[in-house]
């Protein structure tokens, strides 16, 4: 999964590059390719007006996604459908039966309740 994040690899390549021009080329290439993918899929493919207005936030989203992915390795707790679990020896063990309202469950899971 870590190989799919372009931003950290770009930063690493820029940090170890032998010249400033090459480092800037790496960053520029990443930004152009990321904007192209973001606009092609979001603005043209999905016809999303938000993507058209905020396409320049794609690197910020990439940084946030990488941060969340990285932080996920430092926790052994999972909240799924309103229930909390703990990972022990590769198994999900119920931590406690969380009693939450249907509104809270809908907010957490995105599930549409009737």
Quote the pLDDT of residue 114.
57
Domain locations in the chain? Answer: 2-73, 77-109
Quote the pLDDT of residue 97.
47
Quote the pLDDT of residue 15.
97
Quote the pLDDT of residue 98.
45
- pTM tops 0.85: no
pLDDT digits (tens, 9 = 90+) for 51-77: 999 999 999 999 999 999 999 889 888
Quote the pLDDT of residue 89.
86
Identify the CA nearest to 63 among candidates 1, 4, 8, 2.
8
Residues of the chain with pLDDT under 50: 97-98
């Amino acid at each position: 999964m870590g190989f799919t994040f372009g931003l950290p690899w770009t930063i690493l390549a820029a940090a170890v590059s032998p010249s400033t021009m090459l480092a800037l080329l790496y960053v520029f290439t990443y930004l152009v390719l990321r904007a192209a993918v973001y606009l092609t899929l979001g603005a043209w493919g999905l016809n999303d007006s938000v993507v058209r207005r905020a396409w320049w936030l794609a690197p910020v989203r990439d940084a946030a996604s990488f941060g969340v992915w990285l932080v996920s390795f430092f926790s052994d707790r999972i909240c799924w459908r309103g229930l909390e679990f703990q990972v022990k020896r590769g198994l999900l063990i119920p931590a406690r039966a969380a009693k939450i309202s249907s509104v809270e469950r809908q907010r957490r899971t995105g599930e549409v309740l009737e």
